[in-house]
Amino acid sequence: MSESADTVEAATREPPATGECAQPAESAQPAKAPRLRVNEIFYSLQGEADAVGYPSAFVRLTGCPLRCRYCDTEYAFHAGDWLDVAEIVARVRGYAARHVCVTGGEPLAQPHCLTLLRQLCDLGLNVSLETSGAFDIGGVDVRVARVVDVKTPDSGEAARNRLENFPLLAPHDQVKFVICSRSDYDWSTAFLAEHRLSDRCQVLFSPSHGQLPPATLAEWILADRLAVRFQLQLHKILWGDVPGK
């Protein structure tokens, strides 16, 4: 197991409940409520993907086994509090938002993320999941809009792309490329064509913040007539690179 995998396993390993001690195997124990380690829950404008601009509730889960060079949420690698899924849902409902985004870190590194997503969908909310693309998305509730990263070479994590996820994509899902350079762009256009991703769902191209001028990427897309959607991170334009936004 890699160092980063060790780290995320430790960060998301659920501790025993207070006062819990070893019990005989034959002693019946009540089922524990599912819990997740949560870095932050907040209310803001969605800054990316198909729901961009909508007031949204965000649930950021702790832990990620990837170490992308441009990561802007390193604070979510380790810090967080253990909360029952029911408490998370209650806090989300308190914002009275129609849109909710479960993000990270890597949300799918915690198995009970699937429970949270299902319960949020059951409320009739518009639910999205932001995931690195390194984990199986097959267990995610079909009502969820899955925003799946495709890691480019300049991210340092291209080997983690789980190609088996692509046949599972539905029209309401999205795949996102964060482009850092011209070589990243050329790699991404070839990858896009090889896996026919534009035929499966919406494809998002975003310039890496502070690395690639947005207008440069826009010109490349127009010159090549790419069937992709250009996007900027709205929250960074409005507030900068700060937690809770």
Q: What is the CATH number of the domain that holds 86?
A: 3.20.20.70
CA distances (Å), origin 40, targets 59, 89, 91: 6, 13, 11
Structural domain includes residue 5: no
Residue 10 pLDDT: 57
What distance, in Å, lies between the first and last C-alpha atoms of the chain?
A: 33
Q: Output DSSP code: residue 51.
A: T
User: How does the average pLDDT of the chain come out, rounded?
Assistant: 90
Residue 20 lies in a domain: no
Query: Does some domain include residue 224?
Result: yes
User: At residue 24, does pLDDT exceed 80?
Assistant: no
pLDDT tens-digit readout, 49-72: 999 999 999 999 999 999 999 988
Examine residue 136 and state whether it is found in any structural domain, yes or no: yes
Residue 26 falls within a domain, yes or no?
no
In angstroms, rounded to a whole number, what is the distance separating the alpha carbons of residues 149 and 120? 22
Kindly report, residue by residue over 76-104, the tens digit of the pLDDT: 899 899 999 999 999 999 999 999 999 99
Task: Supply the range of the domain harboring residue 149.
Answer: 34-239
CA pair distance 148, 106, nearest whole angstrom? 11
- How far is the CA of 59 from the CAs of 97, 135, 146, 232, in angstroms? 13, 18, 15, 21
User: Under 8 Å CB-to-CB from 137, ≥6 apart: which residues?
Assistant: 108, 129, 131, 146, 148, 165, 168
Domain for residue 15, yes or no? no
Instruction: Tell whether 80 is covered by a domain.
Output: yes
Q: Are 243 and 44 in contact (CB under 8 A)?
A: no
Residues making up the chain, counted from first to last = 245
What is the number of structural domains in the chain? 1
